[in-house]
A and B are shown apart, each in its own frame.
Chain A
Amino acid sequence: TQTVSQSDAHVTVFEGDSVELRCNYSYGGSIYLSWYIQHHGRGLQFLLKYYSGNPVVQGVNGFEAEFSKSDSSFHLRKASVHWSDSAVYFCAVSANYAQGLTFGLGTRVSVFP
């Protein structure tokens, strides 16, 4: 069984700042990782994914994430946030890409002007 941990419940940043959202997972084998964003009252929007290859993956809207097997992590980053990035961000894992996802508790990002 895989588990995922997002250590920060809430992150506050100013527009133009960089942000890093942490995600750590536990699973012994190959793992499929992804990040999703949920704006208030809405569903989930896909940001990016990793399964193999280059550990740094680029996503939509300037987001990127880096996979680290040694740290069991898949942290999400953005160099310069915009107010529209205010949302809840979910890290998700599965044992392979064909299975359902296990989600973290989410990190709420508040971007102030």
Chain B
Amino acid sequence: GALVYQYPRRTICKSGTSMRMECQAVGFQATSVAWYRQSPQKTFELIALSTVNSAIKYEQNFTQEKFPISHPNLSFSSMTVLNAYLEDRGLYLCGAREHYNYAEQFFGPGTRLTVL
């Protein structure tokens, strides 16, 4: 079956520091990986969509300078939250999918970021 792992599951960082999170797809080829954030009591916001061999597309309010993403192959992606502050806390999910018609996104369990 298709599985997505995320590491770490929980992390705490001091305000102003950076934190890297990883996403691994198992059992399928993660041609595209989308990163989302769920802030406390809110829904999921798309941060960026990364497709192997294509440019990473960031949504409004999110930038590469703040959330650099690496997607080097069909099974792995990572994202760093640079210079984290209180408003960056939340659950970060990666959703990965293969590029065949109508393929759904499979999500990992998320990385929960707490900023002190």
Contact = CB atoms under 8 A, between A and B. Distances in A.
Interface string A28-65: 00001010100000111110010110000000000000
Contacts of B99: 98
Q: Majority SS of interface residues in chain B?
A: strand
Contacts of A34: 104-105
Contacts, number: 61
Contacts of A102: 46
Contacts of A43: 6, 91, 93, 107-110
Interface size classification for chain B: 20 to 34
Interface stretch (A12-20, A71-79, A103-111): A103-111
A99 B49 contact: yes
Given A97-B101, A98-B32, A101-B34, A106 B107 contact: no
Main SS of chain A's interface residues? loop
A90 B44 contact: yes
A100 interface: yes
B43 interface: yes
